[in-house]
Amino acid sequence: MLTYFFIVLLTLFLFSIYMLSSTEKYLVSKDRGRLYVDANVIANALADPLCNEEPLTEKNVKIENIDTTGTRVLICDQNMTVLYDTANVDNWAGKTMVSDMLSQAISGEDVDSFTKDEEHGYYLEVGVPIIKDSDVLGAVVLNSSLQTTQAFIEDTRTTLLFITVVISIIIGLLSSFIAELVTSPVEKLIAVTKSIATGNFDRHVKVTGTRELMELADAFNSMTDKLNDLEQKRQMFVSDASHELKTPLSGIKLVADSIMQMDVLDKEVVHDFLTDMNSEVDRLTRIIDRLLKLTKTDTVSVPSIEQKKVSINDLVQKIISRLRPIALKKRIKLEITEEVPAEAVIVEDKIYEAIYNIVDNAIKYSDTRSKVQIAIKKDEESVRISVTDTGIGIPEGEINDIFERFYRVDKARARDTGGTGLGLAIALEAVRYHGGKIEVSSREGEGSTFTIVLKTPKDDIII
């Protein structure tokens, strides 16, 4: 904007100089023409009187026919003696005038010279010879100070200066306004970009201005939306992954603890424990494989994983044997009270995780010496796995909230149980992935029943 401002200023300046000098040239040439005409009129009038050696009077000089305001008329003979001078002060009549101009005029040439300086202002001198029958008898010299022209040029200069100053101010204001219009949205973008660089991906920028800037802001906002979305997915991925990894790890720890607590090492029991540990390690490996697969896709949504027909009874049994040590610590009776053989087409690890999280909650949110009962039912449409506890229950208004990520009822009490609030969210996502749902019925202080509902496999599903 500053460059633009200076270019306009320079153009104005050059234009003013050109205007002034050409006007000055034009006016001076007009004055020169006028002085030549006057000088020639006088020279013609004097040819005869000079030839006849008559004394020069104002009458035969014919001064009255020309306007001598501001003009000094000097008439000299060919010896450069001033015969007549109109000056009132410092009259040169009778004196010899030594000047180049006069000598040139006496030699028969028309001469003129224009000068301007601080002292005399604009000053134009014209000399023409007085000729009679090809003889130069003398010369007429007119000196004129071009006051009107000078005044006009000075006026014009002042006016142009004034116009230049006014236009500069207007352009200056306009430039700073436009600069502000352009830079303020850019500054906003810079501020938001800096804030995004520090990890605040939920920032948006609101820009008003030119179409290009608004398009830039729109593109910027959709970029931050995408970043924000990715950041949320990243956080979700990290927390879910940690939660999923915790389940088999705590299983391994439990087995290791049990072996360490044995006074006498029974080979068969140790073998069983190690088999459990082995299957937990396998689960851990599978989870890590799946997580690695997820990182290779550009979304965090679950890629289609191979589903197979799984016995729900075996799956629940496996979960019970893993969680029994925890239940035993609280003297909680963990049992299957009712079951029919049931199968479902599922990703085993995911449904394992879902049931595990719900049974884990039932134990975690129950008092010591209580019961956690599991029932497996089936009809044509669905397989239902119900987990009932007689624990603390869930307040009615919060039943829907508990499936929210990181939501925990009664934060103070929940802190003692050391959860993250992710178990149910992961369970619900896993069940929904299979087209199922989770039903909850609960009474505060009496207990809760969580029921996982999965579709009964159709016979035509390929195993």
Ligand X SMILES: Nc1ncnc2c1ncn2[C@@H]1O[C@H](COP(=O)(O)OP(=O)(O)OP(=O)(O)O)[C@@H](O)[C@H]1O
Q: Find the shortest distance in angstroms from Cβ 255 to Mg ion.
A: 21
Asked whether position 352 contacts ligand X by CB under 6 A, the answer is no
Task: Tell me the closest approach of the beta carbon of residue 275 to ligand X, in angstroms.
Answer: 26
State which of residues 138, 248, 391, 436 lies at the interface with ligand X (CB under 6 A).
Answer: 391
Closer residue to Mg ion, CB minimum distance, 224 or 451: 451
Q: Does 248 bind ligand X (CB under 6 A)?
A: no
- Binds ligand X by CB under 6 A, chosen from 74, 205, 409, 431: 409
Compute the distance between CA of residue 460 and CA of residue 13 in angstroms, rounded to an integer: 92
Pair 128, 110: CB distance under 8 Å: yes
Does 323 bind ligand X (CB under 6 A)? Our answer is no
Nearer to ligand X, 86 or 239 (CB): 239
Residues in 342-371 at the binding interface with Mg ion, rule: CB under 5 A = 361
Cα Rg of the chain, angstroms: 56
- Interacting residue with ligand X among 359, 394, 431, 454 (CB under 6 A): 394
Based on CB atoms, which residue is closest to ligand X, 137 or 424? 424
For residue 53, the tally of other CB atoms under 10 A from its CB is 8
Q: Is 389 in the site for ligand X (CB under 6 A)?
A: yes
Residue pair 344/350 in contact (Cβ under 8 Å)? The answer is no
| 362 near ligand X, judged by CB under 6 A | yes
Phi and psi at residue 83, in whole multiples of 5°? -90, -30
- Give how many residues touch Mg ion by CB under 5 A: 3
DSSP for 286-307 reads HHHHHHHHHHHSSS-SPPP---
For 355-385, letters b (16+ CB in 10 Å) and e give bbbbbbbbbbbbeeebbbbbbbebeeebbbb
423 interacts with Mg ion by CB under 5 A: yes
Q: Give yes or no for a contact between 127 and 112, defined as CB atoms under 8 angstroms apart.
A: yes
Q: Are the beta carbons of 144 and 150 closer than 8 angstroms?
A: no
Q: Residue 75's beta-bridge partner residues?
A: 84, 140
Query: Other C-beta atoms within 10 Å of 133: how many?
Result: 7
Residue 162 or 406 having the CB closest to ligand X? 406
Q: Residues binding ligand X: what is the number (CB under 6 A)?
A: 23
Closest separation in Å from C-beta 222 to ligand X: 33
Handedness of CA 325, 327, 330, 336 (dihedral sign): negative
Shortest approach of ligand X to residue 405 CB, angstroms? 8
User: Is the CB of 168 or the CB of 449 nearer to ligand X?
Assistant: 449
CB 402 to Mg ion: min, Å: 9
Residue 413 has a CB neighbour count (10 Å cut-off) of 11
Shortest distance, CB of residue 357 to Mg ion, whole angstroms? 5
Distance CA 428, CA 316 (A): 17
Residue 420 is a binding residue for ligand X (CB under 6 A): yes
Residue nearest to ligand X (CB): 419
Q: Which residues bind Mg ion (CB under 5 A)?
A: 361, 419, 423
Q: Which residues would be at the binding site for ligand X (CB under 6 A)?
A: 243, 357, 361-362, 365, 389, 391-394, 402, 407-409, 414, 419-425, 448
